[in-house]
Amino acid sequence: MTILDGRKVSNDIKDEITEQVKKMKAKGEKVPHLAAVIVGNDGASLTYVGSKVRACERVGFESTMVRMSNTTSEIELLDQIEELNQNDDIDGFIIQLPLPPQINTQKVLMAVDPSKDVDGFHPENFGKMALDMSTFIPATPFGILELLDRYEVDTQGKHTVVIGRSHIVGRPMSILMGRKGFPGNSTVTLTHSHTKNITQITSQADIIISALGVPNFLKAEMVKDDVVIIDVGITRVPDESSTKGYIITGDVDFENVSKKASYITPVPGGVGPMTIAMLLKNTLLAREQRM
């Protein structure tokens, strides 16, 4: 069994980006600039945006964090987005989700200039991805592809089962794993909360990508020997024995499933670190396109 080490691979990618930024500076070119908009005081969102800002510092990017209050109106947020769209110094920006209830998330994501949409959430970019055109791939699916690529996990002709159909992970992964090329060329089954006999489906899978958000959902009896497991789930589970009062758990019963797997991502330290690395990669791509 091989651990798909997201921490190691993400550090490799950050090192590669750092070298590219050094070359840009040496040529007198402007370095990439990523902005993040956060509305409200959600603790997990603040932590996540903070880690993105630190990642920018590490690779030599410029970064801007735009903090807006929990009472921000939809109009105020849309005005802020338009300001970022028009700002030539900003190469890419993200809107940290979730947004407060008074704001229509879909309307906000539609307002982002597709050429600066480094999260890959705009329908124009999603459509291009579905049509196999060059575009920004959402950071988490992009990170999964990169892990499969760098560990040379064979995907051609394999049966890939995706658990979960979110627009952020499940649905794009189902499209990307079925595309021509590597990683891809697999036969994809997309499962979700209404899927019947899910064990029957997962037990036939060569590759399982789980993005359900249900701790320890995937058990050893639900998978076959030598399966490849990509665990996207990340849930805080209360645990009094932990100093934090909780532990981070994925969708997969790692202890038992890992005994049957050929490759598996740990939680934490698997897909999570890759997401930020690929956001940086998309920002670099945005800067290059703008040049």
Spatial neighbors of 175 by CB under 8 A, at least 6 apart, are: 129, 130
14, 80, 91, 96: the active-site residue = 96
CA atoms within 13 A on the CB side of 2: 12
Residue 234 labelled as part of a binding site? yes
Tell me: is residue 165 an annotated ligand-binding position. yes
Coil, strand or helix at 90 = coil
Helical segments of 87-163, H only:
105-111, 123-130, 139-150
Distance (Å, whole) CA 173 – CA 161:
10
Q: Is residue 117 flagged as an active site residue?
A: no
Task: Residue 163: name the closest of 117, 127, 199, 115 by CA.
Answer: 199
23 catalytic? Reply is no
Q: Which two tokens stand for residue 277?
A: 């690395």
From 5, 91, 119, 206, the catalytic residue: 119
Contacts with 189 (C-beta within 8 Å, 6 or more apart), sequence order: 159, 160, 161, 162, 201, 205
Q: Would the annotation count 164 as a binding residue? A: yes
Q: Which of 52, 117, 206, 281 is catalytic?
A: 52
Residue 143 φ then ψ, to 5°? -65, -40
7 marked as part of a ligand binding site: no
Contact in structure between 155 and 177 (CB atoms under 8 Å): yes
**Alpha-carbon distances of 249 from 16, 208, 263, 269, 273, rounded to whole Å:** 30, 17, 18, 11, 15
- Token look-up 């300001």 returns 83
| Structural tokens at position 51 | 């880690």
| Separation CA 10–CA 273 (nearest Å) | 6
Cross-sheet strand order for the sheet of 187-191: 2-3, 261-264, 227-231, 207-210, 159-163, 187-191
Please say if 52 is a catalytic residue. yes
The residues annotated with a catalytic role in the active site are 52, 96, 119
- Known binding-site positions for NADP(+): 164-166, 234
